[in-house]
Amino acid sequence: MYGKLLRINLSTEQVSVEEIPEWVAKKFIGGEGINNWLLWEHFLKVDPRIDPKSPDNVMIIGNGNLAATAFGSGTKVKFTFKGTAYNMFADSVSGGTFGPAMRWAGYDYIVITGKASRPVYIWLDNNRVEIRDAGHLWGKGVFETQDTIKKELGDHQNVEIACIGPSGENQVSYASITVGGKRSAGRCGAGCVLGSKNLKAIAARGTRGFPIADPTAFFQAIDEYRRRLNTIPTIDNWRQFGTLTAPDFYNVIGSNHYRNCQENILPPDAISKLNGQAYFKTIYKRGVSCSPGCAAACSSEHVINGDETPEAKNWAGEHGDKPEYLTVSSFGMGCDVRDIASVAHWQKKCGDLALDILEIGNACGFIMELREKGILTEEDISQWIGEKVSASWGDSNFIEKAIESVAYQKNQFGQIFKDGVYQGARRIENIKGVPVLKYVVFGKGGSVINEEVRPFPVWAINMAVASRGCCHLKGLSWLDKSERRDISMAWFGRPEAGQGYSPALKGAGAARSENHITAINLLGICVFTGFFDPLILSLDVFARGYSAATGFPLTGEELYLAGERAYNLEKAFNSRLGLRREHDMLCERWLKEPTPHGPGKGMKVEDYFQQVLDEYYDYHGWDKSTGLQKRSKLEEIGLGDIIPVLEKDHAVV
């Protein structure tokens, strides 16, 4: 009634199904909330300080209650685990078709533990669960794996697959899971965890569906959601350009990541080859949604014929989904490759090898900067790669080789960057005896984001504190980048959080954005459509959809509180691992180097960081001096039961 949970122990091949308890559903709602509770429960029995590549780690896959419905905000499936990339709390989210197939097969949540004795894949055929041999799939890329599985299951139409590629098999710590062939659960190493469990893929065929508690009320909620969505002035633009709205907007406000974030505005000749117009004039084919049930449908498909851009001939015949902004920023802007076809190719290549785009793209830009500064030579890099590369700005051949080197662990370059850019930089310091960490662009946990943050204090704080390591999806605040004074007025009764290029009220803005976005993530839907405009699409709108779908009354206020509760559980998990205020940090470039261009020229994070961080902790009700949660706050939000656990780890004040 509150959701079906499938448990699979790969060591013993035991499979069981249970109901999500009522009190859990009422407290954590669903999606990210119930995933977090399942993670917390797992690590009450297992020491959270384990090596995340060990069989004791867990992989939790969860859908929210609006996922795989016609509500209109798409479906985002959430993978939750202890992360291999940054050794802390981790979750990764993806669109695509696997989440809906899993839910239509009858499972809202899957908890995978243990380690298979040989490569396997899981086959969920509605209510039948099978663990099948995957020896013949090991070593194959995602696309070949999916085709092979569908062929052997005799169904190309209804089987949907989440699987890993060579990166996960080779234990690259930032390996991802490719979902439905075109979308990725990236960043924290979800693919590495599956690889460590000898789990190549999970295939699902769901034709059973699930009941909606009050169909009439649900259709009313859908109508209200879509009517409100269509009044957002930017919605038609979003439907066409999606995240490729950002290159132009960011170039005006000074938020792009150019040449490893040495610059924040691209020259005209570069931006014109990497913006939304460049994509639509060259390789765009047709608009699509990334997952079923989305009324915004901001994705699209591309086809490369070979003559659209200077480098398109290298990728002629390829097709795939639209490159998202962070793919463009990682490879196109960060490495100064002024070719949208090449960017689209690398998105597909990283999907096939199931490798996180931000981390490998950032690694390439970092190497190019070291090469420009003369710290590394062409000979150094060519020796690591095993063949001659230039690795100067715009060198597509180097990027191609770098991706393969890491995914297949085929040479020294691959080994240097097996655990991300931050760890790679430390290895280069050991090899060369020269300090290079100051050129790595990163935030919490050593994780990267390929966007400029210095002039945008909400963003800077969100990148310094995010529970899964530096990440835009734990805040996604439009407050300061879009200068939304109206949102600031509604949230705080004051406009300052929506006034750009100033630290005023930005700590509170960062904290409230985290709680709000987590609330949306409890429902298994897209945060972009969900967070488009939190005034027009208030949490009440989503709560009414949830209530109609499940039959359990929920208000927007209760949804927000559940979001805050879920985010506090992520914080508590990290506190158990020893993370404190000093771990909420950013790289030297962002802290100490002035923003080079644009309206925020001259701003650097160290000028406002501590003061805004204080306000962030205050708003959350956390302790400023340690960064830890306070007992009183945990009791206030209904998490008093976790206090004894935190006390044992000296992780609460």
Partner 1 sequence: MVKIEVNYYTTFAKITGKSYETVEMENPTLRELVTQLLRKYGRKLSEITWDEAQGDLKNGISVLINGRNLPLDTKLQSSDQVAFLMPMAGG
Binding residues for partner 1, per CB under 8 A? 232-234, 236-238, 240-241, 243, 245-246, 248-249, 252-254, 276-277, 324-326, 329, 451, 459, 472-473, 476-478, 481-484, 486, 500-501, 528, 533, 535, 598-599
For the bound state, the minimum distance from the C-beta of residue 311 to partner 1, rounded and expressed in Å, comes to 22
Give the list of residues 6+ apart from residue 394 with CB closer than 8 angstroms, or none: 335, 336, 337, 338
The distance of closest approach from Cβ of residue 93 to partner 1 in the complex, given in angstroms and rounded to an integer, is: 13
Residue nearer to partner 1 on the CB measure, 326 or 341: 326
CB of 532 to partner 1, least distance (A): 8
Min dist. Cβ of residue 594 to partner 1 (A): 16
How far is the C-alpha of 391 from the C-alpha of 375, rounded, in Å?
A: 12
Sheet containing 120-125: order of strands: 128-133, 120-125, 199-205, 159-163, 177-179, 183-185
Number of H helices, E strands in the chain: 28, 15
CB of 239 to partner 1, least distance (A): 10
Please identify, using beta-carbon distances, which residue of 119 and 598 lies nearer to partner 1.
Answer: 598
Choose between 257 and 544: whose C-beta lies nearer to partner 1.
Answer: 257
Between 24 and 335, name the residue whose CB sits nearer to partner 1: 335
In the complex, least distance from residue 265 CB atom to partner 1, rounded to whole angstroms: 9
Question: Considering only CA atoms, which of 480, 501, 502 is closest in space to residue 491?
Answer: 480
For strands 120-125 and 199-205, give the pairing: parallel
Cβ atoms within 10 Å, residue 228:
17
User: Considering the complex, what minimum distance in angstroms separates the CB of residue 237 from partner 1?
Assistant: 4
Nearer to partner 1, 281 or 388 (CB): 281
Residues in the chain: 653
- What the block records as the tokens of 265 is 């505005």
The dihedral built from the CA positions of residue 70, 75, 77 and 78, taken in this order, carries a sign that is: negative
- Gap between the Cα atoms of 64 and 91, Å rounded: 14
Q: Concatenate the DSSP letters of all residues of 121-142 into one string.
A: EEEEETTEEEEEE-TTTTT--H
Contact 32, 519 (CB under 8 A): no
- Minimum separation from the CB atom of position 229 to partner 1 (A): 12
Nearer to partner 1, 60 or 449 (CB): 449
* Residue 146 vs 467, nearer CB to partner 1: 467
Kindly state the tokens that stand for 590: 């962002």
From residue 481, how far is each of 99, 506, 591 by CA, in Å? 32, 11, 18
- How many angstroms separate the Cα of 581 from the Cα of each of 40, 578, 651? 22, 10, 12
Q: How far is the CB of 224 from partner 1 (least distance, A)?
A: 19
Q: Say if CB 634 and CB 652 are below 8 A apart.
A: yes
User: Between residues 66 and 476, which has the closer beta carbon with respect to partner 1?
Assistant: 476
CB nearer partner 1, residue 30 or residue 254: 254
Q: How many CA atoms lie within 13 A of 551 on its CB side?
A: 9
CB 256 within 8 A of CB 266: yes
CB of 85 to partner 1, least distance (A): 19
Q: What is the CB neighbour count within 10 angstroms for residue 210?
A: 16
Q: Which is nearer to partner 1, 43 or 528 (CB)?
A: 528
Query: At its nearest, how many Å lie between partner 1 and the CB of residue 234?
Result: 5
- Kind and range of the H or E element at 363? helix 357-372
Q: Is 36 within 8 Å of 14 (Cβ atoms)?
A: no
The answer to whether 514 touches 178, Cβ cutoff 8 Å, is no
Q: What is the residue whose two structure tokens read 């909620």?
A: 221
Minimal distance, residue 608 CB to partner 1, in Å: 18
DSSP for 389-442, written as a single string: ----TT-HHHHHHHHHHHHHT-SHHHHHTTT-HHHHHHHHHHHH-S--GGG---
Q: Considering beta carbons, is residue 263 or 623 the nearer one to partner 1?
A: 263
Residue 361 CB, nearest approach to partner 1 (Å): 12
Residue closer to partner 1, measured from CB, 404 or 533: 533
Comparing CB distances to partner 1, the nearer of 102 and 458 is 458
